Amino acid sequence: MSAPSGPIRAVFFDLGGTLIDERNPEAWSECARASGLEILPDELVHCFGEVEVGNDAVGNRWGAEEFWRRVLDQATGTPTEATQVRGFVACVRERGGEAHLFSDVRRCLDRVQAAGYRLGVISNSRSEEWVRSILEKVGVLRYFEAVISSGTEGVAKPDPEIFRRSVARLGLQPAEAFHVGNLAHVDAKAALAAGLHAVWLNRAGTGFGEDPPEITSLSELPGELQTFRSRAR
């Protein structure tokens, strides 16, 4: 899929897995134990990653019970009782607020903002207010001119509508915006289909992917943007 042509004026970031690391395997293991399930932290992280990738084509709403049911089923090898899933999810939500920035985020935001780009966040999440609270807690809310949440908008990635609303929030056209996120289909390919420029942040990858274009760290993003800017001249 080819990227649109045109100058880039704004850069949108996904939230979880891109800006913030929401994984908390020790807490997840404790929540599982409280729900009557004995699952090691490493096993939960492994299954979380596999279910996240498997959900990529339809959107990763990992706060949802269905997502966690799949994680728990895979981790235990047996169907998890509905009451156990609900108890686990309630515990995970109660333990919320422990997210932290990936180490490459702040320097990336500084460089991208200094280069003159406007910044925004597009997140499949419970609400815009919740996203803002997370960004505030980790100390980066000030960077973002626009914060868009599927929970508030009533539409989620990969639907192109949420990308269109996001760029419209800044008074721009899709071809003037760039999106980066940690899911190949829900973030990169969906953004490209909506008319934006995009790359896939594949933190576990090689950086050689072309469909969609791939980076392995946000430290690479300023260089990617410079390349796009040079092509547009």
Residues 128 and 77 in one domain: no
Residues 103 and 27 in one domain: no
Residues 88 and 104 in one domain: no
- Mean residue pLDDT of the chain comes to 89
Q: What is the pLDDT of residue 207?
A: 72
Cβ-contact 182, 157 below 8 angstroms: no
Residues 16 and 28 in one domain: no
pLDDT band (50, 70, 90) for residue 10: very high
pLDDT band (50, 70, 90) for residue 51: confident
State whether residue 118 is helix, strand or coil. Answer: strand
137-195 confidence digits (pLDDT tens): 999 999 999 999 999 999 999 999 999 999 999 999 999 999 999 999 999 999 999 99
Distance, CA of 217 to CA of 103 (rounded, Å): 10
Q: Is 5 part of any domain?
A: no
78: CATH: 1.10.150
User: Amino acid identity of 99?
Assistant: A
- Which range is least confidently modeled, 70-74, 97-101, 146-150, 198-202? 97-101
Q: How many domains does the chain have?
A: 2
Residue range 123-129: average pLDDT?
92
- Which range is least confidently modeled, 2-16, 21-35, 80-94, 158-172? 2-16
Residues 148 and 177 in one domain: yes
Q: What are phi and psi of 201, to 5 degrees?
A: -90, 95
Residues 84 and 126 in one domain: no
On the question of pLDDT at 202 being above 50, the answer is yes
- Angle (deg, nearest 10), helices 41-54 and 65-76: 120
pLDDT band (50, 70, 90) for residue 1: very low
Structural domain that includes position 115: 10-20+99-232
